[in-house]
Amino acid sequence: MANYITSSGFSDLNGTMVAENDNVSSYYSTNLQMNGSVLNTGGTGLDFNVSFATRPTRVYHINSNISGNGFSGSANNNGPEADQQTWEATATIGEEAATQKAC
């Protein structure tokens, strides 16, 4: 498993996550100061939903591929306007995205 620092145009998605291969096992939002619930949806790279127990509940869909020492892609807030923003995850020091094998 590798640890990543995440950043996005959605401030709620700025934080950290743990992933192995094409699956995210945990996601923490620094902005919300809470762990999210992760649902891996399959596909190549990272393709998953993360939701945060806020009022109203916030649900995001992230779709990304291996890029450099992490992942790069987009996030959708699944809201009425379905806003799309950039999303990136960078491996923390000592971790390598190369250990994340694309299926």
pLDDT at 57 over 60: yes
DSSP for 67-82, written as a single string = ETTEEEEEEE--STT-
Stretch (H or E) spanning 79: none
Q: Which domain holds residue 9?
A: 2-99
Each residue of 8-54: pLDDT tens digit? Answer: 999 999 999 999 988 999 999 999 999 999 999 987 889 999 999 98
Q: Look at the chain and report how many structural domains it folds into.
A: 1
pLDDT at 99 over 60: no
Share of the chain above pLDDT 90, in %: 65
* In contact, 59 and 41? CB cutoff 8 Å: no
- pLDDT of 60: 94
More confident residue, 101 or 43: 43
Q: Taking the chain, what is the end-to-end CA distance rounded to the nearest angstrom? A: 16
- pLDDT of 10: 94
